[in-house]
Amino acid sequence: MDNAEDRRRLTTRLTVLRVSIGVAFGLLACGFWFFQVVHHGQFKAMAENNHQRTLTLRAPRGIIYDRTGKLLVENRNSFNISILREHSKDLDRTIRVLAAVTRVGERTVRDIVDRHRREPSYRPIVVVQDATLAQVAAVTARRLDFELPDVIVQEVPTRRYPDQDMAAHLIGYVGEASEEQLQSDGVTSGAMVGQFGVERVYNRLLMGEDGAKRVVVNSMGREIRTLEEVPPTQGRRVQLTINYAMQKAAEDALRNYGYNGSAVVLEPQSGEVLTLTSQPAFDPNAFAAGIDRATWSSLNTNKLRPLQNRAIQGRYSPGSTFKIVVATAALEEGAITPDHQVFCPGGGTFYGRFFQCLGKHGYMDLRHAIEKSCNTYFYTVGNMIGVDKMYKWAERLGLALKSGVDLPNEAESIVPSTEWKQRRFNERWYPGETISVAIGQGALSVTPMSMAVMMATVANGGTRVVPRLVKAQDDGSGWQPVPATPSPFPPFAMKPETLSAVRDGLWMVVNGAGTGRRAMIAGRDVTGKTGTAQVISLQGRDRARGKSEQDLRDHGWFVFMAPRDNPEIAGVVFAEHGEHGSSAAEVARHIIDTYFAQRDGQPLPVLTPPAPPAPPTPARVTAAATARPSSLDSARDALGIRRRAEAGRNSVASARRSLGPQSVAEPR
């Protein structure tokens, strides 16, 4: 070294360097301690969040069968394409690329993303539901190129309804869980839950439990390996009370004869619903992976209202079928015996007004009055017992109030009473009103379901049943019966003479000189009653607006049970604009025929398409012209009889065949 001063300075400055470096290393050690010890938990969580992704494994919903074990609803796998914003570096670009690749409008994609913007970023936003294979392939290819690291393709179980629109209103459909539904436990965002029908009511059974998969992903979002997998639990299998063959028969027959409307068939003892249809229907497959807006709005704006379940939401005037209630009430209240006779001169004057009957029936007892649907008889008997007794028995039979079937949004059937009128209109009941009510006119408004319950009550001897749709469920350990909810209606037995008289009358309607002959099946003892629900008087104003003739034709009812003794089935067919109950009767015939054929192991009946419309019948015109609105229903009933007489005295089968087309094509 050159000199001592230099040496000293060097030593000093070396010491300064030494200390500086020491301090720097000390600070570094502190920094690492701070991150690795003090804030370790926080960074550990962030690291896991970085590379671990929890994917929801959607549980397949439970499979639904009919009572005979026929599959009604199953699942298929579909693909959802979603954006996982957590991994987005440039969301805008992702939206652009994804829209181009999947050929979905960029605006649409942006809207979807905007709608979910507030959700946590680790939750995938489903952009394309039920993607096509081409879309899946296109996205997957881009992912391999690391172009869309924040887009994932997930396989999800999706509902499949193999019979399309069959029993659509009953089975219902699924849809993305609403905000409200998300509140209930077990439902996560984006989950498909039941929104209608059995899918909705028994959602808890059908839903199952979603599983989860924790996977390791790399910085490009690609899955490296699975850390943990909790497999989803499929929803329970559910067996409905529905009989597939009968359900199909009902829908086929309605379509075959060209009617919209509804059919409900119950097992009278248990209240199990064997058939429940509403036409026109919709295809629940359209909802399975999220319905598109166009389909949804067309379903909603369709004038025929395919989303309405007419069986429980459509309310119509019961017409002559209400005579069953009047007859039962009069017999049970002891006002008359079955042999009580009334003379029918073609009508009767009550409270200073003439009420018409459609025929001059002469002396009639109850059985024949039912068979001929004689208005005079029921005016008289109804007047004897009064409206409140009629209401009492309407409720007891099941025609009034809600049936309590396990479907949502059931409408309440209305049968008037003095109390009802006071409550509803704050008005006194006028005895004259009773006369109209006695033949099913006036302020009566009932659902097909309540009609079916009424027939079930008559069929089982007096106990009003609560219709039910689910027979059994299976959580994987075997079928367990689903117990019926306790009925609010106590068991009841009507007098044997009441039952035999009413049943005899109804049997004669079909098998004698009545209006329901089209429902006759040799050896099956079908019993039933036709009815007509007026459309004109209710919607008279629509005529001025130029509604089509079809829209103004009356509705046809046919309520039935079979066989007469110890009935096994009871139900109703409602043929919208069917003009007359006999049109509904031919639909019912096919259902009943199918039931017995299946029960006895015979080949199921086949429908023959109706022949083209026949020319107008003069007799029909006359009848319509003479019929007053208040007794129109009976006019139709009478017409049925007359036609049948015209058809000749051949075999029943040939009569039915020859009459079928005429009825369908009834002109106005």
Partner 1 sequence: MFERRLYHHVDWVLIGAVLAICAIGLAMIYSTAGGAGRVYWTQVYALGLGLIGMGIAASIDYRSLADKSHWIYLAIVILLIGVLFFGAVRGGSQRWLDLGYFNLQPSEFAKAALALMLAKMLGEERHSGLVKRDLLIAAVLTAVPFLIIARQPDLGTAVTLLPILFIVAYVAGMPMKYIYAGLVVAILAAPIAYRFGLQEYQRERISTFLDPAQDPKGAGYQQIQARITVGSGGILGKGFMAGTQGQLRFLPVAHNDFIFSVLAEEQGLVGVLAALGLYFFVIMRALDAARLAKDRLGAFLVLGVLASFTSQVIYNITMSAGLAPVKGLTLPLMSYGGSSMVATLVGFGLILNVRMRRFTN
Q: Which residues bind partner 1 (CB under 8 A)?
A: 1-3, 5-6, 9-11, 13-14, 17-18, 21-22, 24-25, 28-29, 31-33, 35-37, 39-40, 42-44, 46-48, 50-51, 88-90, 216-220, 224
The closest alpha carbon to 322, from 258, 382, 261, belongs to 382
DSSP state, residue 572: E
* Helix axes of 375-385 and 387-397: crossing angle, nearest 10 degrees: 100
What is residue 468's three-state secondary structure? Answer: strand
Nearer to partner 1, 34 or 430 (CB): 34
Min dist. Cβ of residue 219 to partner 1 (A): 4
Residues 6+ apart with CB under 8 A from 345: 360, 376
Nearer to partner 1, 98 or 342 (CB): 98
Nearer to partner 1, 88 or 383 (CB): 88
The closest alpha carbon to 488, from 424, 413, 402, belongs to 402
| Structural Rg of the chain based on CA atoms | 35
For 665, other C-beta atoms within 10 Å of its C-beta total 17
Nearer to partner 1, 113 or 400 (CB): 113
Cα–Cα distance measured from residue 482 to residue 601, given in angstroms and rounded to the nearest whole number: 27
Nearer to partner 1, 215 or 443 (CB): 215
Min dist. Cβ of residue 29 to partner 1 (A): 6
Query: Which residues pair with residue 383 across a beta bridge?
Result: none
Cα–Cα distance measured from residue 250 to residue 252, given in angstroms and rounded to the nearest whole number: 6
Cα–Cα distance measured from residue 246 to residue 591, given in angstroms and rounded to the nearest whole number: 6
372 exposed, middle or buried (CB, 10 Å; 0-12, 13-18, 19+)? Answer: buried
Min dist. Cβ of residue 40 to partner 1 (A): 5
Min dist. Cβ of residue 22 to partner 1 (A): 7
Nearer to partner 1, 16 or 619 (CB): 16
Min dist. Cβ of residue 126 to partner 1 (A): 23
Nearer to partner 1, 33 or 430 (CB): 33
Min dist. Cβ of residue 96 to partner 1 (A): 17
Cα–Cα distance measured from residue 341 to residue 295, given in angstroms and rounded to the nearest whole number: 58
The closest alpha carbon to 264, from 551, 525, 557, belongs to 557
Nearer to partner 1, 40 or 107 (CB): 40
Nearer to partner 1, 227 or 652 (CB): 227
What is residue 567's three-state secondary structure? Answer: coil
Structural contact between residues 441 and 399, judged by C-beta atoms closer than 8 angstroms: no
Min dist. Cβ of residue 53 to partner 1 (A): 12
Min dist. Cβ of residue 47 to partner 1 (A): 4
Cα–Cα distance measured from residue 624 to residue 531, given in angstroms and rounded to the nearest whole number: 16
Cα–Cα distance measured from residue 576 to residue 591, given in angstroms and rounded to the nearest whole number: 17
φ and ψ of 584, to 5 deg:
-70, -30
